[in-house]
Structure formats: C-alpha cells, structure tokens
Structure 1
Amino acid sequence: MNAAVKLIIKIVIISMLALAPTTYINMHYDPYGIYRTDFREQKIEPNQRFIKIRYLLNNPGKYDSFMFGSSRVGNIPSESIPDGKYYNMTISQGIPSEHLYNLKLLLDNNVKVKTVMLGLEDFSYKLEPRSENGELITELYSESAIENLKYYIKYTFKMPDRNVLEPYIHPKDEEFPVFYDIYNSGRPIHTEIDEYINTHKDEHIKDKKFKTPSVHNTNFMDQTLKDIQEFVDLCNKNSIKCIVFINPTYKATYTANNPVQFMEFKKRLADITDFYDFSGINSVTGDPFNYYETSHFRVFIGEKMLARMFDNYNKVPVPEDFGVLVTKKNIEQHLKMLKEQL
C-alpha cells in the first residue's frame, strides 16, 4: 500500500471519528423530525415543509383534498370538512410561492387532488417569494432525489444550534405541549392551552401580549399575485376545486400592517378569483378571547370559518359580520365597508 493511499484512509477514518458525535446527536435527538416516526416526543417545530410532502408522496391515495397556508391554517380543523379526505398543509410563514411549488409536486407525482383550499394572510405579499432557502428547518422537499440526499447529508452531519438541542438535552415539563399530527390530520394539536384560556378568561384577555402586533413592512405584491394566478390556473387546468380565503388576525395586527395596502391586494386578488375575507375589524377580530396572541386565532374560530365556507359543515354559530364572499361584482362595496371599519 503506497503512502498516498494510506494518507487517504487516515483522512477518511479521522473524518468519520470527528463527525461521529454530531451524527449521533442528529440521529438520536432528530431536532427537526426528519427521521422521526413518532412525533409525540417532538420538542420544537419540525421541518413540516420537507416531512409533509415526503409523507404525501409515499401515501398518494390517502388524501384527495389539501388546505395550504401558514401556521394560522393549522388552527382550522380541515379533517372534519365533509366531502373530502383533507390534509392540512400548514407551514410556518407559508406563502403562495411555496404552496404553488408543493401543489405542482403533488400533481407531478400523480397524487389525485379533488379540492384545494388556499389560506392567505396580511403577510402573504410581504415575505419574499422563494422555493429554496437552505435552512434546515424550512428547506422544501425536492423532486430531485439528489437534492433530497444533499439535505439528508447536511442535516445528519451539521451540528445544530445549542438552542435547538436544549429542549431535548434538558427536557422540561411543557405547560402547553404541542403534538404535530403529521401522519393523520397534518395539524398541530394543543388542547392544553385552550383549556387554560377557557379557565383563565379574564387573565387571558388582559394579557399585555395583545398590545404587541405582528408586523411586516416589505412588499412583493406583484410577484405574489402572479404566484396566486398560477396556483388558480393550475387548479383550473386539472379540474381541481379551489377555495381561497383570507385569515383573520387580531385587530392590533390588522391595523398595524397597512390595511389600506392590504385593500389594494384584495382588489387585485378579486380580479384573479373569488375569495372569502375573514379579516378586518369585526366581532371576532376584536375579542382577545378568540386568539392565542395577535396573530393566531383559536380552533373554534377555525370551525366558524369552515361553517361559513361549507353549507354542509357542522352547524356552528357564525356572526353576520364574519366572513364575506368577495367577487369582482362586490369588491368595491367590500372595500368601502373595510374603510368604514377603520
């Protein structure tokens, strides 16, 4: 064996020994749930962008309808919608470019799609459109096996941040645990926090967090509307029923995020598709009891949204001022009402 071969072998052995602790940590703790089969021990949010598409492509006939949106749609019990086997594709800060990418991936892999729901936000056009970003927690599943292999390698051999590992290394009893129901509904389940709010109503509605809005200031409206147009066109081309809706944020967040600019977005959206608008200032968005904080509505509000959008959904009371079906014909009247609210 010549010296060059010996050197290469030594380098390989040393590299393997050096990476062994990192590999063990990532495989054992699996902080973003890439290798996990049981999410009851998931301590932080997993990479839902990657895991969910992988799961759906491995189970192409399990669902026929999908709800796309940000973390807010995770509080809509889509699994209870009649006339379909729904999977909730909620992803944190999900935007139309990502939903379009994922829908294309499903269709390209022969997943039968009957209905899709697209949830939009006050920030849908304020986050830069993207399809890949290189972050371990948010990287998308790829149609390329090589690209996915690269992600597995990076995930396995890159040492996670200490803050990411802390909940696993030193686990604590969580006051409000979250179960990521990846292999069933797709939604995060968090019943404990709802029980707490219901039994501590006064304390909850007076919490100072309701004075702190979630704010985004950038603007990528043109590209976002193009992505939505392509999403709708793709549905039409494949005879997929498409239901578009705008989520309701708490009034502090709504008013802090340039609602006049939001109205411009809605006006242009009406040229693309009809949509249900649950945002604005109304009897739901003005009550802190209906929210976990100023960004995310509670699950029973998600049920009211479904009752508005589906005539045959379980009958739950829906306030008259909550949820308007907006079309090209009534968009000007709707915008006038929103201005009067302000």
Structure 2
Amino acid sequence: MLSKFSAKLCLFLSPLLILIIGYFVFDPFKIVKTYDSYPDNFAKSLNRDRISTQIFINNNPKYHYKSFIFGSSRSSVFYARNWGKHINDATPYHFDASCETISGIASKLKFIESKGNQIENALFVFDRSIFNYEQDTLGSVFVQDYRVSGLSWWKYHLIFINTYFSKGFFIGFYDYAIFNNFRKYMRNFLEFRKINYTPVVNDFIFTSYIEQIKADSINYYNQPNFFYERSKNKNLPSPAIKKYQLKYLQQIKEVLARKKTNFKIVLGPTYDQNYFNKSDYEFLVRYFGKENIYDFSGINEYTNDKTNYYEIYHYKPVVANQIMDKIYATK
C-alpha cells in the first residue's frame, strides 16, 4: 500500500520535478551559469544588475577597471567610451542596474573596493527614482546580485524560481524556446525589443528605438499616447531622500574619499520635467560638495524637446554627450 502511494505521489510530483530541473538546466534567467555575453532581446526577464556584476567579474582580472558609471537604465546613454575621452581612460566600466537604488550604488562601490580596484573616476547619474526603491523588495528583474548585496544564494534563486512559476512564465519560455515564435500572451514576461550589451565596458544600447527612429522619425514621435503633455507650471515634487538612506550617501562618500576619486554627480533631465527637490539637493551638497553636482532637472533646453527622448523614461545619448561636454569643460 505504501509503495503504491509513493509511486502515485512521485507520478503526481513529476511535472514539478521536471520543471525545477529545467530551471537549472535551461537557466531561463541566465543566473545559474556564468556567461560572457547575453541575449539582446530579453530585457523583461534578464536582470541587468546580474549582467553588470557578471561582466565585471569576467573582465576585471584583465582590464583592472578604474573608472565607473553608476545609475539606473537612464545612465545607459552615457556611453562608457564617450565618457572615457573626458577622463583619459579607454576602458571605463558601466556598472548600472535597472531601477537602481542608492543602496545598490553604495554596495557596488564597496564591492569594487573589495576587489582591490582603484576608483580614479566615477560618474553618478541620479534622479528621484534612485531614492524611490529598495532592492530587497523588488522582483527578479531588479533584485541585486547576491555576490554584491550579501543575500544568500538560495534566497536569491528563490526570487527567480517564484517568477519562473508565476503568471505562466515557464510556459512562455519553453513555448518560445521550442517554436521560436512570439505570441501576444508572452508580452507579460518576455521583451522582444532588441537591446544590445557591449563587451568589456558593458554599455546598454536601445537598438530597436534607434532603428525605428532612423527608419521613420516623424511617425515614431507622433505615435498616439506615446508622449504625454507636460504642465507648463514648475514641477516641485516632495523630498525623495529618506533618513535611512543617508547612511548610503555616507558610505559612498567614504569610499570616494579613501580612493581619492575624481567624481561628478549628474541630476538628469527626466521627461516629466520635475525639478530635483531643494532639500534633496542640499543633502547631496552636504555629502559631496556643490562643485561636484550638476543639475539638469526641470524645464530646460533638453526636457522641452521630446525628440531628445526615446520614450518618456529615457533620454538619448546626444543629451548625455552634451551634458558631459559641459561638466568636463576646461574651467
């Protein structure tokens, strides 16, 4: 009787067992194994923080990176090689993450320091969103790599396994893997825009946007409901920096001081035209000095022109290049 029950239980659980084995064998989130490069069209399922960490670990023994760009995906348009021309470094590293947080930036700096790297130059691309999230509360696309955050290996994978089984993710993953055919239901968890990750310096390039704009910029910028109308009034949002986040600002300050880093903080020109809050700005000045902070938030020449943006979340490299030209201009 017991053996018959055990056989039935094994038969009942076999699909679950097969799916769990599939998680480790096929590695849908590209986190079980190590990779030198990553697919270019899975931004909704791949974790950018993991990619940035892994590419750093892969290449750091050879390149001994000494210059770093930090920020969310909005920092992606500050291409590392373009920045390198301003700081005389051929291989600066782009250590960004999707929906990056101030705690994530602080832990990345400590991680880099623990590897023995010099941190001669740093470029921080901030906006309000940097202070809006805590990574340990976010899902699989945003959680910080456990090797940097200190989260245990099994808790880290548990977050991804939960995503694997939720909302039919594994169905879409295996459907696409087998038939290589995109179906509408997959939009919830698979991203079919082409996004490229450059080797060595780890830039993040919005290839599909670039191709669409090049093919027909007029129709691109006149898509219905694509860009919303901004208020002509000055947008002065409430403070974003919380008291508990001051310790992360202090941690960043201490690493920069120990390494004698040449650094700059850019407050980016977000499409919403929100100004960086005055009290938040004063906190940054207190920790990093007014001479190192460059505020491009609010209503200005960049935010007034919607063609400076790919969509309402990300401005273009041309804007980043102009900003770098300004902040690194010889005084």
TM-score interval, normalised by the smaller of the two chains = 0.7 to 0.9
Aligned partner letter, 2:153: N
- The structural deviation recorded for 1:234 is 1.6
Give the counterpart of 1:140 among 141, 144, 156.
144
SS at the partner of 1:296? coil
Distance 1:163 1:226, change over 3 A: same
**Whole-angstrom CA distance in 2 between matches of 1:9 and 1:309:** 69
Deviations 1:74-129 (A, max 9, x none): 1111233222221112211112111001111121232332212111103233x14x
TM-score normalized by the length of structure 2: 0.74
- The structural deviation recorded for 1:227 is 2.1
Distance 1:60 1:124, change over 3 A: same
- The structural deviation recorded for 1:138 is 2.2
Match of 2:226 in 1: 209
TM-score normalized by the length of structure 1: 0.72
Give the counterpart of 2:205 among 183, 189, 202.
189
**Whole-angstrom CA distance in 1 between matches of 2:48 and 2:283:** 30
Distance 1:103 1:15, change over 3 A: farther
Match of 1:115 in 2: 121
Match of 2:26 in 1: 28
SS at the partner of 1:185? coil
Match of 1:237 in 2: 258
- The structural deviation recorded for 1:9 is 11
Match of 1:105 in 2: 111
Distance 1:115 1:290, change over 3 A: same
- The structural deviation recorded for 1:200 is 2.8
Match of 1:292 in 2: 310
2:302–2:308 CA contact under 8 A, matched in 1:
yes
1:88–1:187 CA contact under 8 A, matched in 2:
yes
**Whole-angstrom CA distance in 1 between matches of 2:32 and 2:229:** 33
Match of 2:38 in 1: 39
**Whole-angstrom CA distance in 1 between matches of 2:309 and 2:151:** 42
**Whole-angstrom CA distance in 2 between matches of 1:217 and 1:26:** 44
Instruction: Report the aligned-residue RMSD.
Output: 3.7
Q: Percent identity?
A: 17
Aligned partner letter, 1:284: Y
**Whole-angstrom CA distance in 2 between matches of 1:237 and 1:22:** 45
- Stretches of structure 2 lacking an aligned partner (at least 5 in a row): 184-190
**Whole-angstrom CA distance in 1 between matches of 2:155 and 2:192:** 37
Aligned residues: 300
Match of 2:186 in 1: none
Match of 2:245 in 1: 224
Distance 1:192 1:151, change over 3 A: closer
Say yes or no: does 1:262 pair with 2:277: yes
**Whole-angstrom CA distance in 2 between matches of 1:74 and 1:165:** 31
1:32–1:137 CA contact under 8 A, matched in 2:
no
- Stretches of structure 1 lacking an aligned partner (at least 5 in a row): 313-324, 326-342
